[in-house]
């Protein structure tokens, strides 16, 4: 296969997003960092290191033969699966914020569920490329559901409902794009609704999040606190915002502003125009991924590009939906923008995979 140059639009948008994210991580975190670590640059220095490693990994991924990626896709999934199991073992998995989601030593840690986003897309892309027409048969469709369900179950044991939700929805959207019979998905929707209701009822804190979503002011200092403070950040932003590094909510009003709710700081400081600019970058990023998938005839490359684009779409949609009050709080980072080493590096690796696919456009 003749290799072309990588998609320049996707590459440029990625670089702009990384720079934008670094600036916003510094702005959102410097007050908390100075208070906790006596160093206002604590978070941004770590994020810069992760960004550097992520960019190097992205470049390496771009230059790997796509056939080797196909060959080892199942192995990559199995490694991610083993890590998901290991993280559940006391002494190996690290507990943070009530979830056993990290493997590491001290301040250096790795989140296997983030790696599984890559693993599941690679495996599904490989399976769909080999058994594309066989998905019309229910037994093959059911086999895919078992894989997705097993991974989701392991993630929920941590528990990490947010990451599990992104993985499941992204996988189901990719499965839908294969052309599997619609009646299978109707059955899946019913099972999904029952399952979500069961998960919510089984955990009191999830019930609290639902109630706080419906009426956050019913418990303004408890379950509704984050949602209310996020809205307080959005409300005064106006067209141009308060100005870079001039957020009020990052002064210990909005908890961990550099993480899941960083979009609220973006809107507060840069206003409606800044928020639209960021959303436009994500739109172009996801649009280019889908277009790249459409431009190749190789089914593995097609489904790989589609799967990564859909995963980004689901994660961005849920994160921003939570911040603006359209969805209950789920604890999902904003890709590339939020603080978090594993999330940033895995996002750049996924983009590297799509950029690799873009070299085979027209083949």
Provide the pairing of β-strand 108-110 with 93-96. unpaired
For the ranges 223-232, 275-284, 353-362, the one whose mean pLDDT is highest: 275-284
* Top-confidence residue, 361 or 222: 361
* Of 195-204, 263-272, 316-325, 331-340, minimum mean pLDDT range: 195-204
Is a pLDDT exceeding 90 seen at residue 268? yes
pLDDT digits (tens, 9 = 90+) for 149-173: 899 989 988 888 888 889 999 998 9
* Top-confidence residue, 226 or 281: 281
Helix (H) / strand (E) containing 77: helix 73-86
Q: What is the per-residue pLDDT for 106?
A: 62
Q: What is the per-residue pLDDT for 307?
A: 95
Beta bridge partners of 110: 103
Q: What is the per-residue pLDDT for 321?
A: 92
- pLDDT band of residue 267 (cuts 50, 70, 90) is very high
Q: What is the per-residue pLDDT for 16?
A: 97
pLDDT digits (tens, 9 = 90+) for 20-63: 999 999 999 999 999 999 999 999 999 999 999 999 999 999 99
Is a pLDDT exceeding 70 seen at residue 308? yes
Is-contact 357 293, C-beta < 8 A? yes
Long-range contacts of 132-137 (CB under 8 A, 24+ apart): 132/178, 132/299, 135/175, 135/178, 135/179, 135/180, 136/180, 136/181
Q: What is the per-residue pLDDT for 203?
A: 65
As a whole number, mean pLDDT of residues 302-321 equals: 95
Spatial distance between the Cα atoms of 345 and 351, rounded to a whole number of angstroms: 10
* Of 184-198, 278-292, 302-316, 336-350, minimum mean pLDDT range: 184-198
Q: What is the per-residue pLDDT for 356?
A: 95
- pLDDT band of residue 363 (cuts 50, 70, 90) is low
Beta bridge partners of 90: 93
Q: What is the per-residue pLDDT for 291?
A: 95
Distance of CA 37 to the CA centre of its chain: 27
As a whole number, mean pLDDT of residues 226-241 equals: 83
Write down the mean pLDDT value for the chain: 87
pLDDT digits (tens, 9 = 90+) for 54-101: 999 999 999 999 999 999 999 999 999 999 998 888 878 787 766 778
Spatial distance between the Cα atoms of 138 and 135, rounded to a whole number of angstroms: 7
* Of 7-16, 71-80, 214-223, 241-250, minimum mean pLDDT range: 214-223
Q: What is the per-residue pLDDT for 134?
A: 72
Q: What is the per-residue pLDDT for 107?
A: 65
Q: What is the per-residue pLDDT for 158?
A: 84
As a whole number, mean pLDDT of residues 300-306 equals: 95
Is a pLDDT exceeding 90 seen at residue 14? yes
Give percent of the chain above pLDDT 70.
Answer: 91
Cis peptide before 5 (omega within 30 of 0): no
Is a pLDDT exceeding 90 seen at residue 181? no
* Of 118-122, 140-144, 303-307, 335-339, minimum mean pLDDT range: 140-144
Q: What is the per-residue pLDDT for 348?
A: 97
Spatial distance between the Cα atoms of 82 and 272, rounded to a whole number of angstroms: 43
- pLDDT band of residue 120 (cuts 50, 70, 90) is very high
* Top-confidence residue, 3 or 121: 121
Phi-psi category of 336—alpha, beta or left, where left has phi over 0 and alpha has psi -120 to 50?
left
Q: What is the per-residue pLDDT for 206?
A: 66
């Amino acid at each position: 296969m003749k290799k072309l140059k990588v998609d320049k639009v996707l590459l440029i948008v990625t670089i702009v997003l990384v720079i934008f994210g670094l600036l916003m991580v510094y702005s959102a975190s410097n007050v908390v960092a100075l208070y906790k670590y006596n160093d206002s640059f604590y978070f941004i220095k770590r994020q810069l290191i992760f960004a550097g490693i992520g960019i190097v990994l992205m470049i390496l991924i771009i230059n790997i033969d796509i056939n080797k990626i196909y060959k080892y896709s199942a192995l990559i999934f199995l490694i991610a699966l083993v890590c998901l199991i290991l993280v559940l073992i006391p002494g190996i998995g690290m507990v943070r914020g009530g979830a056993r989601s990290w493997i590491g030593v001290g301040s250096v840690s790795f989140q296997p569920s983030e790696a599984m986003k890559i693993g599941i897309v690679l495996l599904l892309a490989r399976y769909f490329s080999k058994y594309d027409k066989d998905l019309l048969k229910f037994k093959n469709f059911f086999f895919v559901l078992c894989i997705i369900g097993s991974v989701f179950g392991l993630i929920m044991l941590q528990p990490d409902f947010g990451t599990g939700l992104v993985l499941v929805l992204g996988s189901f959207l990719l499965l839908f794009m294969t052309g599997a019979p619609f009646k299978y998905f109707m059955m899946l929707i019913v099972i999904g609704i029952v399952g979500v209701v069961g998960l919510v009822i089984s955990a009191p804190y999830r019930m609290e999040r639902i109630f706080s979503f419906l009426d956050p002011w019913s418990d303004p200092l408890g379950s509704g606190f984050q949602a209310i403070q996020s809205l307080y950040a959005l409300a005064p932003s106006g067209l141009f915002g308060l100005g870079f590094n001039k957020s009020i909510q990052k002064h210990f009003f909005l908890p961990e502003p550099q993480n899941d709710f960083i979009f609220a700081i973006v809107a507060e400081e840069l206003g409606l125009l800044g928020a639209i600019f960021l959303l436009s970058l994500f739109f172009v990023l996801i649009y280019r991924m889908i277009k790249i998938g459409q431009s190749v005839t190789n089914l593995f490359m097609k489904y790989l590009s589609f799967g990564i684009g859909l995963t980004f779409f689901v994660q961005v949609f849920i994160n921003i939906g939570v911040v603006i009050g359209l969805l209950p709080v789920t604890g999902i980072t904003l890709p590339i923008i939020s603080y978090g080493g594993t999330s940033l590096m895995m996002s750049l690796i996924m983009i590297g995979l799509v950029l690799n696919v873009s070299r085979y456009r027209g083949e």
